[in-house]
Amino acid sequence: MELLSIGEAAKRLGVHPNRLKAWEKQGLIKPVRLPSGHRRYPVEEINRILGTGGIKAEPDAAVVLYARVSTKEQADAGNLERQLERLRAYAGKRGYRVMAEHSDVASGLNQNRRGLERVLKMAERGEFKKLLIEYPDRLARFGYAYLERHLKHCGVEIEITSQKEPEDAHAELVQDLLAIVTSFSARLYGESLGRKVRQGFRELIEDAEKARREQV
């Protein structure tokens, strides 16, 4: 009986190795376990799947939704739920099957987000192939390219549903910039002087925003 490594089997089936692990949990494919604990896939099992046209139980149309707002006030105002509703409508129009929804109420600078962590764990387990977000900043304010690269490595494509940012996106960006200035100025100059730097930066932003409105 010829056995293939997980990488070889995944290549023949045209899927990511994590997808094979997910199929195993669902009982859709049965690898052989070596004494070392490594998986090996019988060629007959791979040919069986190829001969039936592939596994249909987990279609490529299965997607995960991710939404985020920065503050509790935005969530209480219904912004988070409306964001999810738009994502659901987008998925419905394209015939996608929504298998999970995750969300966070946190700054895009916050790396410790439960919703995002769940998305990443699902991706690493090979449980879905497409992630829907409204626009890049919903996933991360900075470092989006790194998350995109990691998800791609897991076999997940990010699909952005809208290139137009919501009206409150500018206010969120200002708050995130203030958070960065506060953090660094406090480390460099201490809490007291750090607050003065933050206030000066806030006034600078307000002046710039006033000038922008006057030009419109």
One domain, residues 67 and 35: no
Are 154 and 173 members of one domain?
Answer: no
Give Cα separations from 71 to 13, 30, 99 (angstroms). Answer: 44, 46, 26
Six-digit token string for 110:
């916050």
Catalytic one of 70, 103, 183, 185? 70
Q: Which CATH number characterizes residue 69's domain?
A: 3.40.50.1390
**What H or E segment, with its residue span, contains residue 133?**
strand 130-133
**Do 83 and 134 share a domain, yes or no?**
yes
What global pTM score does this model have? 0.59
For residue 179, give the CATH number of its domain: 1.10.287
* Integer Cα distance of 35 and 44 in angstroms: 21
Contacts by 4-12, CB closer than 8 A, 24 or more apart: 4/40, 4/41, 4/42, 4/43, 4/46, 5/38, 5/39, 5/40, 5/41, 6/31, 6/38, 6/39, 6/41, 8/41, 9/41, 9/46, 12/46, 12/50
Which CATH number belongs to the domain containing residue 37 in this structure?
1.10.1660.10
pLDDT in tens, the chain (216 residues): 789 999 999 888 887 787 788 788 878 888 999 999 899 999 998 988 888 765 654 445 689 999 998 888 889 999 999 999 999 999 988 888 898 999 999 887 677 899 999 999 999 888 888 999 998 888 887 788 999 999 998 889 999 998 666 555 555 665 565 555 555 555 655 666 556 665 665 665 566 566 656 665
pLDDT of residue 59: 46
**Which pLDDT value is given to residue 57?**
42
Question: Going by C-beta distance under 8 Å and a sequence separation of 6 or more, which residues neighbour residue 91?
Answer: 63, 65, 97, 98, 132
* Interatomic CA distance for residues 12 and 54, integer angstroms: 11
Catalytic residue check, 183: no
**Residue 174 and residue 155 share a domain:** no
* 142 and 176, same domain (yes or no): no
Q: Is 107 inside any structural domain? A: yes
Q: How many domains does the chain have?
A: 3
In a domain, 69, yes or no: yes
Same domain, residue pair 153 and 193: no
Pair (29, 93) in one structural domain: no
Cβ atoms within 10 Å, residue 123: 23
Specify whether 67 is located in the same domain as 122: yes
Residues 111 and 69 in one domain: yes
Residues 150 and 173 in one domain: no
